[in-house]
Amino acid sequence: MQFKLFNSMVLSIMLFIVSLSMVVGVAIQDGLSLDTSLDGFEGYAIKPMTFEGTIGGIPVKDEGSIDEIIGRMEVNYPGLTANLTALDVQKEHSILKARDQKIGILCCPVAGTDWYGATQHTIEDGIKYLNRVTGYCGADAHTCSRVSCSYSAAIWLCNFRDNHMLATCSWIGTFAQDIINKCAHYSDDKDTPNVCGEEFDDENFRVIVRHDDSNGC
């Protein structure tokens, strides 16, 4: 028992060091803006997520959270969202798991941030959206992009790389689900669970779940 606890503490320390090393000293490219009010995102530009794929069988190339993109599609194609169903992505995820290694989760409080819990069921709604589109969610180099957000519950994607990154949107959703599985908890004054945390990937990105009351959420 003590050995397992020690290993857990070592992993948390290592992930925190990795997080710092990926943030400190990051250069901001020309033309990118940094929102310094978002603690925990220092060193990253904040830009809209990119999406390229299909929604309800319709080709889409757009920017913004998946909620915003689907909302715009609903305006152009009334009734579209009512017909969206979860896709069978198990085979795809099995391939990704073999190639793309998740390396650990930190639950809030995360040192150096002011993050706190988002309502779990709202995050789960965001995951459902990600599972109902076929395509890639992306973030520019050294950028954090909001993947999903509604009712102040957000999923973020942060890219540590020197180039634009893409991952299937449903794969990003599995990170949010992992964070729910490990970090969800009940607050004293809440009758529904909250969740807050981040998960790291060895392909140099991380996914964050947290409360977010900034514009557009």
Kindly write down the DSSP assignment for every residue of 134-153, as one continuous string. Answer: EEEEEE-TTEEEEEEEETTE
Are the beta carbons of 51 and 67 closer than 8 angstroms?
A: no
Residue spans of the chain under pLDDT 50: 1-37
Q: What is the Cα–Cα distance from 42 to 113, expressed in whole angstroms?
A: 10
The whole-number pLDDT of residue 155 equals 98
Q: Which are the contacts of 137, defined by CB distance < 8 A and separation ≥ 6? A: 49, 50, 51, 66, 130, 145, 147, 157, 166, 167, 168, 169, 172
What is the reported pLDDT for 111?
87
pLDDT of the residue at 87: 63
Q: What is the pTM of this model?
A: 0.79
N residues, the chain: 217
Share of the chain above pLDDT 90, in %: 59
Which of 179, 133, 190 lies closest to 156, judged by CA? 179
